Homo-oligomer: A and B are copies of this chain.
Amino acid sequence: MDTSGRVTRHFQEELEQLKTQLLVMAGAAEEQVHAAVLSLVDRNHNLAERVLGGDGPINQFHLELDERCFQLLALHQPMATDLRVVVSAVKINSDLERIGDFAVNVAEASLRYLRHPAVKPLIDIPKMADVAQGMLRDALNAYVQQDTVLAEAVLDRDDTLDGLKDQVFRELLSFMLSNPTVTEPALELILISRHLERIGDHATNIAEEAIFIVSGLDVRHHAREGAVSDDR
């Protein structure tokens, strides 16, 4: 059905639009993560509030992209790699929407944290945010450009993120033990580090999809086995 040059070209254009929209959505999600962590570091209430309000556009993207994928499948009935690209887009869309939710969770925790004096200068949490944002950006580019080398590098960085998360946990636990008055704000920081870890997990999912599309190689449950053992 889909063999005329005109229809095929039209489909390829639609596919490019889909990828562009995913990139824009990922940019919005990354911006939300960045702002949420910046609100924490700079003790900026207004910025945290802005993140809470900034989830709407991402949710709107989520609905539109889901519908766009559905229409592409229904109208063009793509095959082989094109089909994989569209099915992956459905999953990546869900991952990006969840990342937007986690950014909101970070901003909410940031607002609660700001009711207390600072527990300590924040170093590892901004570092986690940087790693997670970089993973997200590279994972999306790997998907769009079908670049498995870039995607593999994302998988590697998930261990860095896990290491930082464990470091944050140990350090804050020792703070709480030596000074119980910081227990509540320290807990918020631990929860924030968990949200950032999950963002990395979703970026990892996206990178795995990118690898799958190109190589047909399903790396999902091999890549993960090693990382699971001391995962809090």
Chain A contacts to B: CB under 8 angstroms: 1, 52, 55, 59-60, 62-63, 66, 69-70, 73-74, 77, 79-80, 83-84, 87, 90-91, 94, 101, 104-105, 108-109, 112, 173, 176-177, 180, 183-184, 187-188, 190-191, 194, 205, 218, 220-221, 224, 228-232
Contacts and interface: CB of A to CB of B under 8 A. Distances in A.
A70 B83 contact: yes
Contacts of A90: 87, 90-91
13 contacts: A60-B221, A62-B220, A62-B221, A63-B221, A74-B79, A87-B90, A101-B228, A108-B229, A108-B231, A177-B184, A180-B180, A187-B187, A188-B232
A221 B59 contact: yes
B63 A74 contact: no
Nearest to A79: B74
B83 A74 contact: yes
A63 B190 contact: no
Given A109-B232, A173-B187, 5 more contacts: A60-B221, A90-B90, A104-B231, A173-B184, A176-B183
A108 B166 CA distance: 14
Given A191-B232, A228-B104, A83 B87 contact: no
Contacts of A62: 220-221
A87 B59 contact: no
A14 to B, nearest CB: 16
Contacts of A63: 218, 220-221
B176 A180 contact: yes
Contact of A105 (B221, B224, B232): B232
Contacts of A231: 104-105, 108
Contacts of A1: 1
Nearest to A86: B73
A16 B180 CA distance: 56
